[in-house]
Structure formats: C-alpha cells, structure tokens
Structure 1
Amino acid sequence: MRVNQLTITNLRNLKHPSLSFSPQLNIIYGPNAAGKSSILEALYVLGNGRSFRTSKHSKVIGDQYNDFTLFAKLNSSGIDHQLGFNRQRNGDTIIKLNSEPVTRLSTLAKLSPVQILSPEQYDLLIKGPSYRRKQLDWGVFHVEHSVLSVWQRCHKILLQRNQLLKNKAPYSDISAWDKQLVNLSEQVTQLRQAYCDKINPLFSDYCQVFLGESEVKIELYPGWNDKQGEGLEVLYKKQFEKDKRLGFTQSSIQKADLKFLLKDSKKAGDYLSRGQQKLLITAFKLAQLKVMQEFGLQSPLFLLDDIGAELDSNHQQQLLDLLAQQPTNQQIFITCVHLDPIKPLIERYKNVKMFHVEHGQVEEVK
C-alpha cells in the first residue's frame, strides 16, 4: 500500500497543499503547531474515516469552513486507485473510490491500511479495555478480513440476546440464540488468538531491543472466565439469572481485552514507569507492522508522529535503526521539529522526500 499523491482542502490550518510522496521515506518537519501532524491526520482518515487526534470530526475542519476534502492517488495491492473523502461540519460524509460511492468504512480499511505511532497511542496500557480491543481487532482484520463478517453476525445476535434479557424472557427463548452466539464467539476468539500467537515472538524481540527484557508477552482475555473449562454455552446457562437481572450479557467478545504481561504474569501497566510504557507500546506497534508485512495482504502506511516528543535520544536512535531496516515496499511518514536527529536515517534511504511546514504552508524541500 502506498499513497502517491494527496491534496488536502480545509483540514485544520493547512493551506490547500497538493503533495507527491516518496514510496519509501517521507519526512515532514517544522516548528510546533505548524500543521505537520495534520498531514498524518489526513493520511489516517484515508484508511479509517476518522481522526486519530479527536473523536469530534468538526475539530478537524478549518475554523472558517463547513467541510474538509481529501483527494488521493494511491496504489493498493498493486492496483492504482483514486480516492476522495469529504466530511461536512454536520457529520455527513461522502466517499468516492474511482468515482463510485463508498458506504462502508471497512472498504477504506481494506484499501488503505494505516499503522500509527503517536503521542496519543502511549496511554494504551492505562486506558480501558475497549482501546486495546480496537488495536487487537485492527491487527486481526488486516491479517484475516473474514473476521469482520463473523464479528458482525456475532454482534447482531448479542444485541438480540440482550433485548430478550431486558424483556425478562425465559431461558427457553434464549437458549437457541446461545448456540449460534457460542459458535460465532469461538470463531472470533480463535482468530484473535491466532493473531496473538503471530505477534508474540516479534513483540518479545522488540521488547528486548527497547527494554532489555524479552520475557514480555501479550495475552488474550476472550471476554469471559472459564476456569473450569466448561465452555461458553455452559457459562451462559449458569449466568442466565444474573444476566436477566442486569439486562445484558456479561460474557461476550465485546468484553475481550489484550493483557500486556511481564515475567511471572505481572501486569506491565502496574510495574513499568511511564517511559518504559512508551517503549513497550513502541515495540507492540512495530510488531503489529511486522505481522502485517509477513501475513497481511499488504503493508500499511506507517505514520510516526513527533518522534522527538516522547522518546529520549538513545531510544529514538534505536527506533530509527529499525525503520532503516524496513522492506523497500514499506512507505513511512515521520514528523519532527528538527532534522538533525534523523539525518542518519535519511542517508540510509535512496528514495526520500522532505516537506517543510510552517503556518499551514507545506513546501517540498529538494
């Protein structure tokens, strides 16, 4: 996957730049609040339909405008495409792929996968399970697209079950739904576990690089406790009365979590310093990138936002050394305030483009 050209209109403070990118390394530099991260934000929207910096779409639109528009020429799985994205201040969204309307964001995710490492990502260990679950499912989806349809069917049945629970339906009315729900839940869990099995050895290797500790792993909590090994269907029957009182299903794939564990199964978030947590998340993101390169249908864009803000100079260099070893078909975008720390990385790439950003103006530097 690579983005060849991108035109940005009315996004934050950017002054309508039209940019042609390197298929390998792109450096975006300039002072703070200049608009560097907004370029990465635009690239992220192409693959996700939303910003990584805010959940309020209106914040992404320039103050004096009613909408923002992105137009990209990209290559996905060896095929050239033109992608247009427009979002109105009222929330209405128009997406066109090769002039044809797109109605599902999953189409964008398949077409233009994006992996990002930014300051917003470093709270992953201390945020709620839903944030870690999203990171997990992003990775699973890009390795095995079929998980989406299974997840959607499972979610639909779960909604039906919860409605019956709220209506105080007898177990005889719910048991038939449970058989379907158990089967689909197990399918989703198997795909999630297979992904964890792929990522763990890579994650351990990267943790050795950044933390000097290889006995680190991720562990999947499926969304229910089955210490007796009785199976999910038995759990549903046992938990039925409590589920009915609560009005929802306690055990489900929507309760799943990704646990980051140190030696002796200690929770990483409880024992690592803030700086160490950032390094662990960096290792996790790089492991996700590597899994997509090895097992996914295509490599994602890799966005690295504000490298100098979160990592000390030693760990910055370790990260840059790893980025210098990426496959030639991996497209990378890095934002920074100063060029000096990343000059060694620039010198190791044959195909590099640099862009200077100041007051929303973007200029390619030859």
Structure 2
Amino acid sequence: MLVNQLSIHNLRNLDNPSLSFSSHLNIIYGPNAAGKSSLLEALYILGNGRSFRTTKHNKVINDEYNDFTIFAKLESSGIRHQLGFSRQRNGETAIKLNSEPVKRLSTLAKLSPVQILSPEQYDLLVKGPSSRRKQLDWGVFHVEHSVLSLWQKCHKILLQRNQLLKRQSPYKDISIWDKQLVTLSEQVTQLRQAYCDKITPLFRQYCQDFLGQYDLSLQLYPGWSDRKDIGLQQIYSEQFEKDKQLGYTQSSIHKADLKFVLDQTKRAGDYLSRGQQKLLITAFKLAQLKVMQEYGRQTPLFLLDDIGAELDAHHQQQLLNVLANQPPNQQTFITCVHLEPLKPLIEQYDDVKMFHVEHGHIKEVSVDAAAL
C-alpha cells in the first residue's frame, strides 16, 4: 500500500492541502495544535472510513462547512487507483474508487490498510474488550480476508437467535440455528487463534526489547468459557434458560477478548504502570505491523502520531531503531514537535519528505531547510 498524492478539503483546521509523499519516510513537524495529527487522520480515514481521534463525525468537519472530502492517488497490490471519500454533517458518506461508487467500508480496508500508533491507542489495556477485539480482528482480516464473511454470517445468526430468545421461543426452535452458529464461531475462532500464534513470538520479542524483565504474552478468550470441555453446542444447550431470561446469547464470538497477560496468569493492565502500558502497546502495534509485512496481502501505511509526547528519550530511540530497519516497501508517516530526536532516523533514509505545519497550513520543506 502506497499513497502517492493526497488532497484534503474542509477537514478540521487544515488549509486544504494537496501533497505528494515519499514512498518510504514522511516527517510532519510543527507546534502543538498546528494540524499535524489531522493529516494522519485523513490518511487513517482513507483506510477505515472513520477517525482514530473521535467517534463524532461532525468534529472532523471544518466548522464553516457541511462536509469534508479526501482524495488520494495510491497504489494497492501493485495497481494504481484514485480514491475519494467524503462525509456530510448528517453522517452520510460517499466513496468513489476510480470514479465508481463504493458502498462497503470493507473495500477501503482491503484497498488501503493503515496501522497507527497514537496517544489514543495507549488505553487499549484498560478499555473494555470491544477495543481489543476490534484491533485483533483488524489484524486477522488483513491476513485472512475470509474472516469478514464468516463474521457477518455469524452476526446474522446471532441476531436471529436473540430475537427468538426475546420471544421466549422453545429450545427446539433455537437449536436449529445453534448448529450453524457453532460451526461459524469455531471457524472465526480458529482464524483468530492462528493470527495470535503468528503475532505472539514477535510481540514477546518486542516486549523483551522495550520492557526487559517482564514475561508478557497474549491469550485469546474466544467469547465463552469451556472449563468442562463440553464444546460450544453443549454450552448453548446448558445456557438456554439463562439466555432466554436475559434475552440475548451470553457466549459468542462477539464477546471475544485479546488478553495481555503478565507471568502467564495476571492481567497486565492491573500490574504495569502507565508508562509500561504504553511500551506494551507499542510492542503490540509493531508486532502487528511485522505480521502484516510477512503474511498480509499488502503492507499497511504506518502512522506514528506525536512520537515525543508519550515515550521517553530512551524508548523513543528504541522505536526509531525499529523504524530504521523497515522493509523497502513500508511507507511511514511520523508527526513530531521537535526534529532533533529524528535526525538519526532521517539520515538512514535516502527517500525522505518533510512537511512543516503551522495554523493548518502544510508546506513541504527540504531536509536542509529543516535545519537538521
């Protein structure tokens, strides 16, 4: 995945920039609140259809306008495309790929995968399982696209099952759906587990690099507890009366969680300091990036927002050392306030573009002009 050119209109405080990027390393620098993160936000929206900074779409649109538009020229799986995305204040979106309308956001995800490490991501350990599950499924999807179809089928059956539960239907009516639900749930869980098996050794290695003495690992909770080893079909049978009472299915892939574990048994979020949690999430995101590079259909954009705000100088340098050894097809975008810490990284790249941002205005500058 490679973004060659990007035009942005009416997004936050940005002054409608049109930019051309390096295929390798892009540095965006300037004072706080200048608009640096808004540029990364536009790139993220291209691959996800939503912001990483807010769930309120209106916040992304410039106050003086009723919509924002992003247009990109990019290469995906070696093929050149033109991609446009716009969103109105009422929430309506329009997506065009090579001038043809696109209805599904999953098309964006396949076309332009994006991995991001930003201050908003560092709460992953202490948030509810939904955020971790989404991050897990993002990785699974980009390694095995078939998981989306399985997940969607599973979701439809769960909706049907829950409707029957709310109607107080007898189990014989519900058991018909359970057989399909069990098969699909097991298939989704197998793909999730296969992904965890791929990412775990990389995650452990990065944790060793960043956190040293801690024994950290990943564990997949499938969405149900099977301590008796009876299987999901039997669990549904035994939980039926309780499910009917509640009006929904207690055990399903929609309850899954990716657990970060310390010393094999402890929840890492309960024992690690805030700073250590940030390092753990950094290790996790880097491991996801590496898995995408090795097993994914294509390499994602890597967006690193505000590197100086969340990591101390020592760990910044460790992260920069990792970034200095990325494969040649990895396109990276980094925002920062101060350029000096990035100097060793910039010197290791032949193809670097630098952009200065101030009051929403983005200007490309030469490396020499940036006074490195």
TM range (shorter): over 0.9
CA distance in 1: counterparts of 2:267 and 2:91, whole angstroms: 39
Deviations 1:168-208 (A, max 9, x none): 00000001100000000000000000000000000000001
Deviation of the 1:215 alpha carbon: 2.5
Q: Which residue identity is paired with 2:318?
A: Q
User: Residues 1-366 of structure 1: matches in 2 within 5 Å?
Assistant: 1-213=1-213, 215-366=215-366
Q: What is the aligned partner in structure 1 of residue 369 from structure 2?
A: none
Contact 1:140-1:195 within 8 A present in 2 as well? yes
For 1:321, the aligned partner's letter is: N
Structure 1 residue 265, shift from structure 2 partner? 1.7
Taking the aligned partners of 1:223 and 1:263, their CA distance within structure 2 comes to 22
Show CA shifts across 1:50-72 (max 9, x none): 00000011100001011100010
Measured against aligned partners, the alpha-carbon deviations of 1:72-123 in whole angstroms (never above 9, x if no partner) come to 0000000000001111111111100000000000000000000000000000
Letter in 1 for 2:90: N
Mapped to 2, the partners of 1:271 and 1:305 lie a distance apart of 26
Q: In structure 1, how many angstroms separate the alpha carbons of the residues matched to 2:87 and 2:245? A: 42
Work out the CA distance in 1 between the residues paired with 2:295 and 2:243: 39
Indicate the SS of the match to 2:122: helix
SS of 1:225's partner is coil
TM-align CA RMSD: 0.6
1:214 CA displacement:
6.0
What is the identity, as a one-letter code, of the residue corresponding to 2:362?
Answer: V
CA contact (8 A) 1:72 1:83 kept: yes
Secondary structure of 1:80's counterpart equals: strand
CA contact (8 A) 1:7 1:17 kept: yes
Q: Matched residue of 2:103: which SS?
A: coil
Letter of the 1:180 counterpart:
Q
Cα distance in 1 between the residues matched to 2:270 and 2:179: 38
Q: How far apart are 1:264 and its partner, in Å?
A: 3.5
Give the 3-state SS of the residue equivalent to 1:123 in structure 2.
coil
Give, as a single letter, the amino acid of the residue that structure 2 aligns with 1:89. R
TM-score (norm 2): 0.98
| SS of residue in 2 equivalent to 1:177 | helix
How many residue pairs are counted as aligned between the two chains?
Answer: 366
Contact 1:36–1:335, Cα closer than 8 Å, also in 2: yes
For 1:32 and 1:354, how far apart are their aligned partners in 2? 17
Q: Distance in 2 between matches of 1:68 and 1:184?
A: 39
> Quick check: 2:301–2:331 contact (8 Å CA) kept in 1?
yes
- TM-score, scaled relative to structure 1: 0.99
Tell me how far apart the structure 1 counterparts of residues 93 and 192 of structure 2 sit (CA, whole Å): 31
> Structure 2: which 5+ residue stretches go unaligned?
367-372
Partner deviation per Cα, 1:310-366 (whole Å, 9 max, x = no partner): 000000000000000000100000000010010110000010000000000000002
Runs of 4+ in 1 over 2 A off after TM superposition: none
Contact 2:216/2:264 (<8 A) preserved: no
Give, in whole Å, the separation in 1 of the partners of 2:211 and 2:118.
19
Distance 2:316 2:113 in 1: 24
SS state at 1:230 partner: coil
Q: What letter corresponds to residue 127 of structure 2 in structure 1? A: K
Stretches of structure 1 that go unaligned for 5 or more consecutive residues are none
1:213 deviates by: 3.6
CA distance in 2, matches of 1:112, 1:121: 20
Three-state SS of the structure 2 residue aligned to 1:83 is strand
1:204–1:214 CA contact under 8 A, matched in 2: no
Question: What is the rounded CA distance, in whole Å, between the counterparts of 1:242 and 1:95 in structure 2?
Answer: 43
